[in-house]
Structure 1
Amino acid sequence: MTADPDLDNGLPIRLLHDRVLVRLEGSEGERRSSAGIVIPATASMGRRLAWATAVGVGPNVRAIVSGDRVLYDPDDRSEVELHGREYVLLRERDVHAVAAQRVDTDSTGLYL
């Protein structure tokens, strides 16, 4: 696993199989729209996907590397605390999209 340097200050961690460890972007409380309007955490919305940054990947992960931004469903996640910080553990198949400089714009990103 290629890991975030912030994780190196404690016990070594090795992700197994197709697991992806991500750090959440922003907070889960109130957020701002692109126009700058504050949306409170209590606002009811439909199913909303969230972005996070991959900080570690297991050996069988094929499309994600540490540092990529990934889009996932916050309802399908497992939270974990490592070295006093909150992370989310996902399977690669639970990631809906990857945003990275190396992503080829002509490719669909699908694999079988």
Structure 2
Amino acid sequence: MSHPDESGEDGLPIRLLHDRILVRLEGAEGERRSSAGIVIPATASVGKRLSWATAVGVGPNVRMVVSGDRVLFDPDERSEVELHGRDYILLRERDVHAVAARRVENDSTGLYL
């Protein structure tokens, strides 16, 4: 029997507490590509860069994020955890800078922050 606060992803054996959010990074860390297709190595520094991740579990006191949301956060301020051989990041809700909204109204232009 699963607890309502458990992460639904692959039946992870974890129940998040308080305002914690468990996220999975999008894409591979390290190398990335520019919009023109140029490979940018992980060692290249261009200032402080925020990262997108997908929320896979949320604690009972999280108010603005639900599982499945894309969240924007500072990768320098994170705690990593491995569950079932996969790497995840544990954040507090206050460490999330933005949530990409999926809600699109009939007369809306699309994705917004």
TM-score of Structure 1 vs Structure 2, range by shorter chain: 0.7 to 0.9
For residue 102 of structure 1, report the CA deviation from its aligned partner. Answer: 3.3
Gaps of 5+ in 1: none
2:9 paired with 1:5: yes
Aligned to 1:68: 69
Aligned to 2:56: 55
Letter matched to residue 63 of structure 2: R
CA distance in 2 between counterparts of 1:103 and 1:77 reads: 30
Question: Which structure 1 residue ranges, 4+ long, deviate > 4 Å from structure 2?
Answer: none
Aligned to 1:83: 84
Q: Percent identity?
A: 79
CA distance in 2 between counterparts of 1:4 and 1:95 reads: 21
Letter matched to residue 68 of structure 2: G
1:21-77 deviations in whole A, cap 9, x for unaligned?
A: 000111111100111111011112201000000000000000000000000000000
Normalising by structure 2, what TM-score? 0.83
Change (3 A) 1:81 1:98: same
Aligned to 2:22: 21
Give RMSD over aligned pairs.
2.0
For residue 103 of structure 1, report the CA deviation from its aligned partner. Answer: 8.0
Gaps of 5+ in 2: none
Normalising by structure 1, what TM-score? 0.84
